[in-house]
A and B are shown apart, each in its own frame.
Chain A
Amino acid sequence: MPALPYDEAGKYVAAAYTVFVALILLYVLIMVARISRIEQDLAELADVVDAQPNARTEDPTPDKVTS
């Protein structure tokens, strides 16, 4: 087949690169949702720790997770 003109080929090229970007974006959005859930869990855990009587002396939350 002969090469497509720019205006015709441009649509296909734009579509292909859009698919690539959309896939990455979709993945990032899924990961953002998961991280928000983890944050929520961490907030609940912090409440549990605060509710314990010796919460001030023993903090079981490692720094790595909270930072």
Chain B
Amino acid sequence: MYGKGLRPLAAATAVTITVLLAMVFFWTPNDADQGFIQKIFYIHVPLAIVALCGFVFGGILGIQYLRTRDPKWDLRSYVAIHLSLMFALGVLVTGSIWAKGSWGHWWVWDEPMLVSFLIVFLLYACYQPLRFSIEQPETQARYAAVFAIVAGAFVPINFAAVRMAQSYVHPRTLGTTTGGMPGEMMLTFLVGLVGVALLYLTLWKFELATKQIRFRVKAMRRKLGAADTAPTRRTGAPELS
């Protein structure tokens, strides 16, 4: 079910990311203010936007779980959140590299954008331990869904709060009073956004497909009465029967 359409999606992702890299390094002009180092923007910002949207997506899937109590929604929410966490890690590392090159520091604590993103990251870093701490699968799924919804609602609020903050240290490229980016830069950025979003979707579907096959194999093993060779251990990941 999840594997359906995965191949064209993966191909589209590969093509878009390749086009993005070509545009970044061979077509888009250097930023007049920051120079060549601004090229990090085309991967850093799309990663951040997709990670934050992925967290909200995980919350929406959590709502679906609470409405239906169908474990497949819990699984989808779980995969969405842990992929977003991985993307968020990429945002923090690429952002730190950019900060070191531009500002001379790996991290700036008085910059609201950075600190608020770190708070979101640390909040979601608690998701897996929360799941792991609850043994009963149904309770685990319910608590995880509530966490995903509350934290998912926090993400846009946090983003809006940062936008309203007075500090303009962090480079603002979208919606500035001076008109934002020139055409080539904006187009490259949009290609980056589409590419990273496609990458997220591909990995999400791929992981769901892999998990579904694993559950099927387990079910077949039970049906055949074969002994389970894998030791039974506590897990934070959802299990479908």
**Which positions in A face B, CB cutoff 8 Å?**
1, 3-6, 8-10, 12-13, 15-17, 19-20, 23-24, 27, 31, 34-35, 38, 41-42, 44-45, 48-49, 52, 60-62, 65
Contacts and interface: CB of A to CB of B under 8 A. Distances in A.
B27 interface: no
Given A3-B35, A9-B37, A16-B94, 11 more contacts: A3-B31, A12-B97, A12-B98, A12-B100, A19-B93, A23-B90, A24-B199, A31-B206, A38-B210, A45-B224, A65-B213
Contact of A4 (B101, B203, B220, B226): B101
A19 B33 contact: no
Contacts, number: 94
Closest 4 CB pairs of A and B: A3-B35, A12-B101, A9-B37, A9-B36
Nearest to A65: B216
Q: Is chain A's interface secondary structure helix, strand, loop, or mixed overall?
A: helix
Nearest to A34: B210
Contacts of B210: 31, 34-35, 38
Contacts of B207: 31
13 contacts: A12-B98, A12-B101, A13-B36, A15-B97, A17-B40, A19-B94, A20-B90, A23-B86, A31-B210, A38-B217, A45-B221, A62-B216, A65-B216
B44 interface: yes
In this complex, the interface size class of chain B, counting residues with CB under 8 Å from chain A, is: 35 or more
Interface of B: 21, 31, 33-37, 39-40, 43-44, 47, 86, 89-90, 93-94, 97-98, 100-104, 199, 203, 206-207, 210, 213-214, 216-217, 220-221, 223-224, 226, 229
Given A19-B93, A23-B86, A49-B224, A13 B40 contact: yes
B98 A16 contact: yes
A41 B157 CA distance: 45
Contacts of B31: 3
A44 B226 contact: yes
Contacts of A6: 35-36
A66 to B, nearest CB: 11
A6 B144 CA distance: 47
Contacts of B90: 19-20, 23
Contacts of B101: 4, 8-9, 12
Nearest to A40: B229
Contacts of A62: 216
A38 B77 CA distance: 23
A38 B214 contact: yes
Contacts of A61: 220
